[in-house]
Copies of this chain bind each other. A is one copy, B any other.
Amino acid sequence: MKGSSKIRLYVTLLHYPVINKNGEVIASAVTNLDLHDISRAAKTYGARAFYVVTPLADQKKLVESIASHWLEGAGARYNPIRRDALELIRIRDSLEDVTDHIRSEGNGSPRTVVTCAKRHDGSLSYDCFREMLETGDPYLLCLGTAWGLSGDFISEADHILGPIRGNTDYNHLSVRSAASIILDRLLGERG
Query: Interface residues, chain A, CB within 8 Å of chain B?
Result: 1-4, 7, 21, 33, 36-37, 40-41, 43-46, 79, 81-82, 84-85, 125-127, 164-174, 176-181, 183-185, 187-189, 191
Contact = CB atoms under 8 A, between A and B. Distances in A.
Contacts of A167: 1-4, 7, 45-46, 187-189
Contacts of A40: 172-174, 177
A18 to B, nearest CB: 16
B170 A127 contact: no
19 contacts: A2-B168, A3-B167, A33-B176, A37-B174, A37-B176, A40-B172, A44-B170, A45-B166, A46-B166, A46-B167, A85-B172, A127-B191, A165-B188, A166-B187, A166-B188, A166-B189, A176-B180, A177-B177, A177-B180
* Most chain B beta carbons < 10 A, residue from A44, A125, A168, A181: A44
Contacts of A171: 44
Given A165-B188, A189-B167, A37 B1 contact: no
Contacts of A170: 43-44, 84-85
Nearest to A84: B170
A41 B184 CA distance: 15
Nearest to A36: B174
B81 A172 contact: yes
Given A4-B167, A41-B173, A174-B176, 16 more contacts: A2-B167, A2-B168, A3-B168, A43-B168, A44-B168, A44-B170, A45-B167, A126-B191, A164-B184, A166-B187, A166-B188, A167-B189, A178-B180, A180-B181, A181-B184, A181-B188
A33 to B, nearest CB: 5
Contacts of A181: 180-181, 184, 188
